[in-house]
Amino acid sequence: MCGIVGYIGNQKASPILINGLIRLEYRGYDSAGISTVEKDSLSVMKDKGRVKNLYQLKGINDLEGTIGIAHTRWATHGKPSKENAHPHLDNSKTFSVVHNGIIENYNELKKFLTDHGYTFYSQTDTEIIPNLIHYYYKNESGDLRFLQAVKNACSDLKGSFAIEVICKDYPDNMIVVRKDSPLVIGKGETENYISSDIPAILSFTRNFYLLNDLEFAVLTRDNVSFYDKDLNIIKKNTQTIEWNASSAEKDGYEDFMLKEIYEQPTAIRETIGSKLNEFSKCEFEELKFTKEYLATINKIYIVACGTAMHAGLVGKNAIEKLCQIPTEVDIASEFRYRHPLVDDKTLCIFISQSGETADTIAALKLSKENGAKTIAISNVIGSSITREADYSIYTHAGPEIAVASTKAYTSQVMLITLLAIYFADILDRNTTTVNQLKTDIMNLPKKIDETLKLSEVVKDFSKKVYQEKDIFFLGRGIDEAVAREGSLKLKEISYIHSESYPAGELKHGPIALIENGITVVGIMTDKNLVEKTISNIQEVITRGAKTLVITNQNVDKNMFNMTIKIPEVNPFISPILSVIPLQLFSYYISKEKGLDVDKPRNLAKSVTVE
């Protein structure tokens, strides 16, 4: 989704802004623009399409301003076009604004401003913001005139926003504010930075300020002041981020996705961290749960979107089997509107790599209102979801740049499995099974390394099927959750139509779609179910399907077109291994088709609007 960058310092702003935009490209966008404070005026340069169109614009290198804002737009109101691209100016060209999010009452505000003589040149909701600021600015005076005008305008806005504003009359100030939309402030020595997320400005600083909803920050070159929604001064400390700048670079890999697939052994090691010691109880310092509290819980909800929801499905299996607590998994956009049965005896777990997914945040707020305790699982320290939840625990996957999630998914599976172990330890349930699982988790990273070595075999099969129109994924039990993830990954980056089904469900309808030459991928890691799944695969072979089987069992390889044998592992964590060939499968198909693996069409890394 939209990305914002800001810079105020002593260097020329435009190259720094463009560099930041390039690093935000992975979020998904359709146009880009920058605005700087020049001698007596505000410059605005923008265009439809890629950031490279922007830096090829005539005159962009002549911009001298040392303060500026920049934006990549992912269209919501109005088609992708130069006019609709941000930044937007007010009619008097005093204010320049970039905005992420959606202003829900923009029609009403547009009418109000039109009635007061303002004209609009774009179809965006954003263009009302600079004009509304100008409307209030005219009637303000004194030192806080700029800030007061921004604050008054924000009081009128309904919806979600992260806003950066610069003003021709204040060449040494930039104002930012956020509500339900991500924004971080990077602190330098004599310069300060703004970004939608940390990786974009990681090469400049590792010290960040986080803004809460409706807090304002006024940036100068060597200072940042903070104000609450009533403009009372507030104090904030910086947080230092452990990620290093190279974790946001490709490091010799062709694509971020491939790099991130190969980072999984490290991501899993880091996520296990010191939580686990095979000889003692699993520790989550952040959660001080007691046996008494867990005994009162009669239901757990795991709520998330997309791939994160698929990690939740694996978590449900572990929590129900190890802790005997009924667990439901729900899609956040459904959960939030279906009046879920949530009360103080419910524990709600929200999974979000970015921590900024609008539906997941809304679902969390709803659960809190209904009295549930909430735990956020995120990969981004200080992200919105972690600030809303009662408790936050982190995957330590490092920045995930490719739109298609890989290392974040496996780290989420790891963390929620550890959470299930933590609960089981407290409740003294299934001690033998839990202790075995602890030992097997300690050995998992080297099994991931072994699985990654299968990459060439996967590549060969991908070359054979990359021109297919439909591909099916089948599995039973925990393998069905992985089939869903494999299918989603393939759709996302190869644009091949794909479906996943519980293997036993095939006969109840979908088998009608199986015809000569169609590709079916079977995942079989559960020794109790492998024979059953083989029977289902046999049914599709009879109808002419080409088959790829991913298994850790001894199966008759002659039955299938390709069998990928992955290391045998404890069933609770088998998804972390069985998903890897599927990640590689979609990656190589996408490459074979010549597509942009890291930035698939229509998709955004961080879905900050519902």
Residues that bind ligand F6R (CB under 6 A): 305-308, 352-354, 357, 360, 404-405, 488, 492, 606-607
Task: Give the three-class secondary structure for 330.
Answer: strand
* Nearer to ligand F6R (CB atom), residue 406 or residue 430: 406
CB of 489 to ligand F6R, least distance (A): 6
How crowded is residue 314: how many other Cβ atoms within 10 Å of its Cβ? 29
* Nearer to ligand F6R (CB atom), residue 32 or residue 488: 488
- One-letter amino acid at 551 equals T
- One-letter amino acid at 548 equals L
CB of 182 to ligand F6R, least distance (A): 10
* Nearer to ligand F6R (CB atom), residue 216 or residue 301: 301
| Both structure tokens of 445 | 């990273």
For the chain, report the end-to-end CA distance as a whole number of angstroms.
11
Active site residue 291: no
CB of 304 to ligand F6R, least distance (A): 6
Which backbone phi and psi does 218 adopt, to 5 degrees?
-110, 120
For residue 474, CA distances in Å to 3, 313, 498 come to 37, 15, 11
* Nearer to ligand F6R (CB atom), residue 42 or residue 308: 308
C-alpha dihedral over 106, 109, 113, 116, to 10 degrees?
Answer: 160
374 forms beta bridges with: 348
* Nearer to ligand F6R (CB atom), residue 492 or residue 526: 492
* Nearer to ligand F6R (CB atom), residue 357 or residue 451: 357
CB of 351 to ligand F6R, least distance (A): 6
Residue 502: is the preceding peptide bond cis (ω within 30°)? no
For residue 456, CA distances in Å to 230, 240, 449, 585, 597 come to 60, 40, 14, 10, 18
Distance (Å, rounded) from C-alpha 41 to C-alpha 508? Answer: 67
User: Which of 67, 71, 65 has the alpha carbon at shortest distance from 29?
Assistant: 71
CB of 238 to ligand F6R, least distance (A): 24
Which backbone phi and psi does 257 adopt, to 5 degrees?
-60, -45
508 forms beta bridges with: none
CB of 461 to ligand F6R, least distance (A): 21
Active site residue 605: yes
**Beta strand extents in 445-581 (DSSP E only):** 470-475, 497-502, 519-524, 546-551, 562-565
Distance (Å, rounded) from C-alpha 367 to C-alpha 474? Answer: 33
**Beta strand extents in 58-105 (DSSP E only):** 67-73, 88-89, 95-103
* Nearer to ligand F6R (CB atom), residue 131 or residue 395: 395
Residues whose CB falls within 8 Å of the CB of residue 73, separated by 6 or more in sequence, listed in order:
2, 29, 30, 31, 32, 33, 80, 84, 85, 86
Annotated active-site residue in 316, 373, 489, 605: 605
CB of 379 to ligand F6R, least distance (A): 8
- Please state whether beta strands 88-89 and 95-103 pair in parallel, antiparallel, or not at all (unpaired): antiparallel
Distance (Å, rounded) from C-alpha 554 to C-alpha 106? Answer: 61
252: left (phi over 0), alpha (psi -120 to 50) or beta: left
For residue 426, CA distances in Å to 271, 295, 485, 494, 604 come to 20, 10, 31, 44, 39
Location of structure tokens 């614009």: 57
Q: What is the 3-state composition of the chain as percent helix, strand, coil, each rounded to the nearest 5?
A: 40, 25, 40
* Nearer to ligand F6R (CB atom), residue 134 or residue 484: 484
CB of 607 to ligand F6R, least distance (A): 5
* Nearer to ligand F6R (CB atom), residue 414 or residue 488: 488
* Nearer to ligand F6R (CB atom), residue 88 or residue 491: 491
Annotated active-site residue in 2, 167, 305, 323: 2
CB of 485 to ligand F6R, least distance (A): 8
CB of 389 to ligand F6R, least distance (A): 13
* Nearer to ligand F6R (CB atom), residue 308 or residue 420: 308
Sheet harboring 391-394: ordered strands across? 327-331, 299-304, 346-352, 373-378, 391-394
CB of 378 to ligand F6R, least distance (A): 8
Residue closest to ligand F6R, measured at CB: 306
Does the CA dihedral 287-292-295-299 come out positive or negative?
negative
- As annotated, the active-site residues are 2, 605
